[in-house]
Amino acid sequence: MPYTFNHVHLKAPNPKKTADWYAEAFGFKILRDEQRPTGDRFLRCQTSDGVIVNISGARTGEKMGDGDATPHFGLEHFGVDVEDLEAEIKRLGGMGASLLEGPRTNPATGLTVAFVQGPDHVRIELMMAAR
């Protein structure tokens, strides 16, 4: 059976605020916003290239652990291609994202990367191809 990638799911204390940040930061389109029977607010978003990103709050009675934007095991970060890395770091910084690491360039590939912390302690890699 072939597999297709279905979605990424982010948990947030304020799902609408988080979805709005991603809509402004990366052009996410909010497809659905609902209160689910499990007690959580659930927003289904889509990136400009079609990836589904679900953002929801805690379900009724669900205890959430802290977010972690440091390198760690498990789902560690997601990457976004950008055209101007320095401009994106500055723009996202103006939206409250903090620079965690970089920018640094891989001499073998010319790829330059930086990591920022987005809302809810999500680690985001910004990637710029060699020009």
Residue 131 pLDDT > 80 = no
Residues 52 and 19 in one domain: yes
Quick one: average pLDDT of 78-99? 97
The C-alpha atoms of residue 41 and residue 30 are separated, in whole angstroms, by: 13
Is 85 part of any domain? yes
Which of residues 5 and 25 earns the better pLDDT score?
A: 25
Is 69 part of any domain? no
pLDDT digits (tens, 9 = 90+) for 37-81: 999 999 999 999 999 999 999 999 999 999 999 999 888 999 999
Token pair of 32 as six digits: 């659905």
Other CB atoms within 10 Å distance of the CB of residue 25: 19
The C-alpha atoms of residue 28 and residue 78 are separated, in whole angstroms, by: 14
Question: What pLDDT does 35 receive?
Answer: 96
Quick one: average pLDDT of 74-98? 96
Handedness of CA 84, 87, 88, 89 (dihedral sign): positive
The C-alpha atoms of residue 13 and residue 91 are separated, in whole angstroms, by: 24
The whole domain housing 100 covers 78-128
Is 2 part of any domain? no
CATH number, domain with residue 25: 3.10.180.10
pTM, entire model: 0.91
Is 34 part of any domain? yes
Other CB atoms within 10 Å distance of the CB of residue 128: 20
Backbone angles phi, psi at 89, to 5 degrees: -60, -45
Residues 84 and 123 in one domain: yes
Is 120 part of any domain? yes
Domain count, the chain: 2
Selection from 83, 95, 92 nearest residue 124 by Cα? 92
